[in-house]
Structure 1
Amino acid sequence: MAKNKSTGYKGPYGYQKQKEREQRTCIRFKCSLTNTIFDVLQKRPGWIEVKDEGEWDFYWCDVGWLRENFDHTYMDDHVRICHFRNHYELTRKNYMVKNLKRYRKQIEREFGKLEASKCDFFPKTFELPSEYHLFVEEFKKNPGITWIMKPVARSQGKGIFLFRKLKDIMDWKKDGNKSDDLREETQIENYVAQRYIENPYLIGGRKFDLRVYVLVTSYVPLKAWLYRDGFARFSNTRFTLNSIDDQYIHLTNVAVQKTAPDYDPEKGCKWQIQRLRQYLTAKHGPETVENIFRDIDNIFIKSLQSVQKVIINDKHCFELYGYDILIDEDFKPWLLEVNASPSLTASSQEDYELKCHLLEDMLHVVDMEGRLTGKEKHIGGFDLMWNDGQVCRDDGSMEIKGNTSFVANTYLGCLNDRKKQLKQLFKSLNLQKKVLVY
């Protein structure tokens, strides 16, 4: 790949950095997808697509390419790819829970049970078949409750089912009497058995969860951005626990819901998150909603911190995560899973625009063009929520919960004035550029 190293400011006036910005006139990209991300990359000024074995500066790759090629590919300093090498520590369901459990124990040892309780945002979970006997012990403590089985590495609702009887998961019973060879021959896919949230908050009698986007540009130090837009994904059928076999009741994945016989593609099954926030505020008041979204912010930070020491940080890598959050009727948010490759295929024109704006702003943050100073707190619809520590909101607001103070530092579901923000940002950067040249 062509040499194009970004070495940072040299000297008080940053002449070298300015020179490098002027020289970087063309960004060569590769893309493994043909949906919204490809459209955004194609339309970005100064970016050109390269194919096959051509040299590239930016690669929107799939995780398969990463696994097979990352360790054998030389990359100049300025090159960027869209995944961290072991992203699966957070995005595989079993690894995510393992890391969260470990992190919670660490917090309890160092800071006590009260602080550790801030990590209690994921349902009780066991990996099968390896933790089958531990699961059975827990299962027998609460007979009759509902559990959900999920394959650890699949997405879009594939392979998921609910159960209340042990006989329904006998295939995952670990048989310690089998020989290693026989176990290898009869090996089945790993799943997690997770306690099902039986009391979800309902709107119009229907279950929903949130899809929220978090962008991590570094793990050492941890630097994370939260996008203001996102959406609530609704089930197509009214919620009931009387029928646990109906996926249209219990799974909110669009890939599942759009196959329902009475699905209306014009109406869809999504709300923008701003609409949800307005609905909750009108019904329950602003204080309740602030508490909900503050607790959701906590989920993002604690989950990223849980993998901070195990993710292989690399200056070439960034990650756009898709978080799935469910709110129960007690207004408690639960982390269901984190996606390394959140769907970028649009289900409507509104969905297309949201995802295009998200990706455009993501590229502004990644800043292949070298236009930013590194001190920005807002870029388009992204707000910096963690930069080796909490990032204060512009109004400096501080809230108190128990004996712990915290900063409400994000604007999830608030007005996304991205166009106005970008206009002001780049106007300010152009003024700084003129001052440097002067």
Structure 2
Amino acid sequence: MSAGVPRERGGRRNSGLRQSRGRTDAPHTSRRREGGTANTETTEALSLISTFDTPQSSWHNSRPASTLLSSVGLNATGKSGDMALFSDSGIFQRGSNLAYRGLFQSPLPLLGNSGGADVSPLRYRTDLDKHVIHFAFQRFPHSIEIVEDEDVMSNDWHFFWMTVGRVRTIFSTAEYRLSESQIINHFPNHYELTRKDLMYKNIKKYIRDGNNAHPAARCTPPPWTTYEHTERVPNLLRFADCVPVTYNIPNDLHMLKEEFKRQPGSTWIVKPTSLSQGRGIFLINRIVQLKKWLKERKEMDEVEGLPPTAYVISKYVANPLLIGGRKFDLRLYVLVTSFKPLVAYLHEQGFARFCATPYAANALKDDNLCSHLTNVALQKGEETYNEMHGGKWSLANLCLFVQGRYGAVCADRLMRSIEFTIYHSLKAMENVMFNDRHCFELYGYDILIDDCLQPHLIEVNSSPSLSTTTLSDRLLKEEVLADVLSIIFPPFFPSSRAMPYWEYRLRTDLTTAVPSGFRLLHVEA
């Protein structure tokens, strides 16, 4: 079973990410909106609310029509309003019980219980003084101890939530070895996926090698067509459509110049390979702009005595799906416990991040990118930014909106396409990632959706933010961290009785034994 790969007719899967639990006989509109005014959006939003029953899934959010309208920047009259994307109460039906799921309720039954065995306290350490990390461990079923040791190379711990800088220190030290009862939150070369230039390089190689090997064996129905056999296309070609055309600068400069000749006037986005939070990003649509910037950058590096800064330049998605006239992207949480074999889980509690200002496709001359980039660090500087709600919308609400505007079938295919994209991006790293059974990784995936409901992989973060600025943000991240612990910790850990679990977890969907917001990304043959 493969993530995001459609089944034949009638073979729909149950997914925590899809809102398919409304009335199946409810009328849906399957046409795409070619334009329209705010009043049109208001009518559509009111119509979609009236066609659905209250969602029954525990992760769905029950909200009235007026709340949904305000969350897309509209009020009942169709006028633009505040981006009230979350109310601060009743966000999820689980409410305050979010942190009591998973391992906090029951251990893995397949391995039995402790039977009164003497299990030593679990000693955890963290480089990040974040509430959600400490809160998750406070709910741990047996005794814990927090280790506060300033010695960088101290080995007196069982679990270490560390920064990527600390990971480099540990794995670059030849004499440092992890014991059988130690777990850390990063793979040794996690940057193969999370550094922008390396991610695109590995994905290109994966697509090229796969197509050269046996393309005919990689065929499945694409989500945007019917399921007839004659309409099947190679999986990897579908995956290539989900990754924007990207070049590394300065290595691929000659190819980029040829691209500008083929597509004059096209818009490109330039990003530093190792920075985050929207820093150093800008847009260009002429090759002369790039040449001028490269010259200035080279002179600056020479003055400062720095090596050349690596950048990537990607084809800008100029037709993003807009809600309330604003651009948004998705932040999804993916847990990987192994790359060989690939074992990855997708969490149901993602969210959409909205720009605080309306989208302006022709605003390339402005230095202000707030209508183009959704980074919270950037949006906070805008006068229209709502600190109470954070400019975010739950994934459940996004599914509901897409269902109402495009129909349930299109919404389902969108989510399967997103899963498909995530799965193949991880599969592309299978042969380059150093697999270590002591390691896991919680990735933050950033996905952009265009107005044809095509997902685009923007980037992958190795350390998704655990800071919380709103109640909804705190509840969501507390749940994600609790679910991470419920999967990565063996029963009886750190006792030696936990050791058989390491092999067990590589061939078992752990979410079937432990209630969790994560769902295994399956692989179809």
TM-score, normalised with respect to structure 1: 0.79
Deviation string, structure 1 residues 347-378 (Cα, Å, up to 9, x no partner): 21101100001001100010154488744334
Question: Structure 1 residues 267 and 116 mapped into 2: Cα distance closer, same or farther (>3 Å)?
Answer: closer
Match of 1:58 in 2: 159
Pairs aligned (count): 371
Partner of 2:421: 299
Indicate the larger mover: 241-250 or 40-49: 40-49
Gaps of 5+ in 2: 1-109, 216-232, 494-500
Distance verdict in 2 for CA 1:193–1:346, change over 3 Å: same
Q: How does 1:24-103 map to 2 (within 5 A)?
A: 24-45=119-140, 46-52=143-149, 53=151, 55-72=156-173, 73-103=176-206
d(CA) in 2 for partners of 1:163, 1:124: 15
Cα deviation for residue 182 of structure 1 reads 7.7
Partner of 1:358: 480
Q: Which has the higher strand share?
A: 1
* Alpha-carbon offset, residue 78 of structure 1: 2.2
2:520 aligns with 384
Aligned twin of 1:7: none
CA distance 1:312–1:184, change in 2 (3 Å): farther
Tell me the residue number matched to 2:440.
318
Question: How much has 1:185 moved relative to structure 2?
Answer: 4.8
Q: Pick from 255, 269, 294 the counterpart of residue 377 of structure 2.
A: 255
Separation in structure 1 between the aligned mates of residue 117 and residue 172 of structure 2, nearest angstrom: 31
**Structure 1 stretch 20-29 or stretch 309-318: which is displaced more?**
20-29
Render the CA deviation track for 1:108-138: whole Å, top value 9, x for unaligned.
1123272321221111100101111111111
> What is the aligned partner in structure 1 of residue 467 from structure 2?
345
Query: Could you tell me how far apart the structure 1 residues matched to 2:384 and 2:487 are?
Result: 40
| 263, 269, 272: which one aligns with 1:142 | 263
2:114 and 2:137 map into 1 onto residues whose CA distance is: 26
Quote the Cα distance in structure 2 between the aligned partners of 1:111 and 1:36.
48
SS at match of 1:105: helix
Task: Report the CA distance between 1:71 and its aligned residue.
Answer: 4.2
Counterpart of 2:273? Answer: 152
Q: Greater relative contact order: 1 or 2 (C-alpha under 8 angstroms, separation 6 or more)?
A: 2
Aligned CA distance change for structure 1 residues 201 and 41 (closer, same or farther; 3 Å):
same
TM-superposed deviation, 1:266:
1.5
Note if contact 1:107-1:116 (Cα within 8 Å) is conserved in structure 2.
Answer: yes
Aligned equivalent of 2:68: none
When the two chains are superposed, the root-mean-square deviation of aligned CA atoms in Å is 2.6
How far does residue 173 in structure 1 lie from its aligned partner after superposition? Answer: 4.5
C-alpha distance in structure 2 between counterparts of 1:272 and 1:325, whole Å = 14
Contact 1:81–1:317 under 8 Å retained in 2 = yes
**CA distance 1:189–1:317, shift in 2 (3 Å):** same
Matching residue within 207, 230, 236 for 1:116: 236
* 3-state SS of 2:436 partner: coil
Tell me the residue number matched to 1:280.
Answer: 402
Shift of residue 270, structure 1, vs aligned partner: 0.3
Compute the displacement of 1:23 (Å): 3.5
Q: Whole-Å Cα distance in 2 between the matches of residues 21 and 40 of structure 1?
A: 26
State which drifts further: 159-168 or 201-210: 159-168
- Between the two proteins, what is the percent identity of the paired residues? 38
> By how many angstroms is 1:77 displaced?
1.3
Residue aligning to 2:316: 196
Alignment equivalent of 1:106, drawn from 209, 213, 229: 209
Q: Shift in Å at residue 201 of structure 1?
A: 0.4
The answer on whether the counterparts of 1:36 and 1:355 sit within 8 Å (CA) in structure 2 is no
CA–CA separation in structure 1 for the residues paired with 2:433 and 2:492? 26
Q: Distance in 1 between matches of 2:386 and 2:302?
A: 48
Aligned twin of 2:60: none
